[in-house]
């Protein structure tokens, strides 16, 4: 699952927010903030890890999660690209509709 | 051109683009709704576009391939979720055209009649508000720098 699809879920978005705010959290600490079962939390964490939004390291029995900064900045770059793309597209649209308008006015005459 | 410059605002988890076009609402709506028009402007410069199928109705699918100048093709699949001619077109992206997975990236294209022309308001809705806010900070700086360079260029022109 890609990062955007992973973040489309409310709970997963909350988890990312929580981890980003705290730096590092264990799966138990994350679970304490939600009213859902441990297996459900662990499923969400698995998705976030596979989407590379969270990093996980093991310390003894604990699983510690932190934000994966590089994937977050990849998302940022992607959004910036989209914005730039649309600016260019709208410029092109503007030239095209003005051309159409001119052609149609001429045809009417 | 300055009047028609696109305005980009980032609000919450949305990017909003606003732009004035000096053509009727009907014409602007038309170029958004027919494959022969879309292929004329949808792609960035140097790109061409082939529509595989387009069902311009509520719930209809638009499948197209964008051909890049480097020969690279990218597949796209979009589903129209709500259409009201000539007022608005809402759609969502369904991944890369391979699967039907909803990537939760939605767009709203709104056509607003103003005197002789049309304001186009386009909203792109992303899943994460935090990310967009950070991007906004970054983007604001980039845009500022671009305008700065633009102004410098204009000033240099006057000195010629």
Write the ipTM.
0.71
The percent of residues in chain B predicted with pLDDT above 90, rounded, is 37
* B17 CA: distance to closest CA in chain A (Å): 8
What is residue B128's predicted lDDT score, i.e. its pLDDT? Answer: 65
Between A69-78, B86-95, B105-114, B131-140, the lowest mean confidence (pLDDT) is in: B131-140
The pLDDT, as a whole number, for residue A27 is: 93
Has residue B91 got a pLDDT over 90?
yes
Mean pLDDT score of chain A, rounded to an integer?
87
Q: Identify the weakest region by mean pLDDT among A4-13, A75-84, B47-56, B96-105.
A: B96-105
In this prediction, residue B2 carries a pLDDT of 38
CA distance readout (Å), A95 to B1, B23, B28, B94: 10, 11, 12, 29
| Residue B137 confidence (pLDDT) above 70 | no
Cross-sheet strand order for the sheet of B14-21: B7-11, B14-21, B117-125, B106-114, B88-93, B73-84, B61-67, B48-54
Contact A76 B37 (CB under 8 A): no
Rounded to whole angstroms, the Cα distance separating A78 from B93 reads 15
Report which of A64, A22, A98, A81 is spatially closest to residue B27, judged by C-alpha positions: A98
**Low-confidence residues of chain A, pLDDT below 50?**
none
Answer whether residue B85 shows pLDDT above 90.
Answer: yes
Total residues belonging to chain B:
160
Q: Which pLDDT does position B1 carry in this prediction?
A: 37
How far, in Å, CA of B160 to CA of B155, rounded?
9
- pLDDT grade for B142, boundaries at 50, 70 and 90: low
- Domains within chain B, CATH numbers bracketed: 7-43+84-91+98-159 (3.30.530.20)
- pLDDT at position B135, please? 61
Mean pLDDT across B65-80: 86
pLDDT of residue A20: 81
- pTM of this prediction? 0.69
Q: Above 90 in pLDDT, residue B82?
A: yes
pLDDT single digits (tens) B115-131? 889 999 999 887 666 66
Residue with the larger pLDDT of the pair B60 and B135? B60
Which of B11, B33, B99, B131 to substitute to test the interface with A, most A CBs within 10 Å? Answer: B131
Residue to mutate among A88, A93, A107, with most B CBs inside 10 A, is: A93
Q: How many angstroms separate the CA atoms of B132 and B139, rounded? A: 10
* Nearest chain A residue to B40, by CA: A96
- The pLDDT confidence band at residue B155, using thresholds 50, 70 and 90, is low
Interatomic CA distance for residues B138 and B68, integer angstroms: 28
Closest partner residue to B44 among A8, A76, A85, by Cβ?
A85
């Amino acid at each position: 699952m890609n990062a955007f699809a992973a973040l489309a879920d409310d709970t997963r978005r909350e988890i990312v927010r929580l981890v980003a705010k705290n730096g590092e959290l264990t799966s138990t600490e994350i679970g304490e903030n939600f009213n859902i079962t441990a297996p459900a939390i662990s499923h969400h964490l698995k998705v976030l890890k596979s989407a590379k939004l969270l990093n996980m390291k093991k310390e003894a029995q604990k699983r510690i999660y932190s934000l994966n900064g590089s994937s977050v900045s990849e998302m940022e770059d992607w959004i910036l690209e989209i914005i730039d793309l649309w600016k260019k597209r709208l410029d092109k649209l503007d030239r095209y509709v003005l051309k159409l308008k001119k052609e149609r006015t001429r045809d009417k005459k | 051109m300055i009047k028609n410059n696109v305005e980009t605002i980032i609000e919450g988890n949305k990017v909003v683009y606003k732009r004035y076009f000096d053509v009727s609402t009907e014409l602007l709506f038309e170029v958004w709704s027919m494959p022969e028009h879309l292929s004329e402007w949808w792609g960035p410069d140097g790109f061409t576009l082939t529509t595989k199928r387009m069902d311009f109705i509520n719930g209809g699918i638009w499948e197209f391939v964008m051909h890049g100048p480097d020969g690279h093709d990218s597949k796209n699949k979009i589903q129209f979720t709500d259409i009201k001619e000539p007022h608005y077109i809402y759609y969502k992206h369904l991944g890369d055209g391979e699967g039907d997975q909803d990537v939760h990236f939605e767009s709203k294209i709104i056509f607003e009649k103003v005197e002789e022309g049309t304001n186009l308001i386009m909203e792109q809705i992303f899943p994460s508000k935090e990310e967009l806010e950070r991007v906004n900070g970054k983007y604001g700086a980039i845009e500022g720098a671009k305008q700065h360079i633009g102004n410098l260029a204009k000033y240099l022109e006057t000195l010629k």
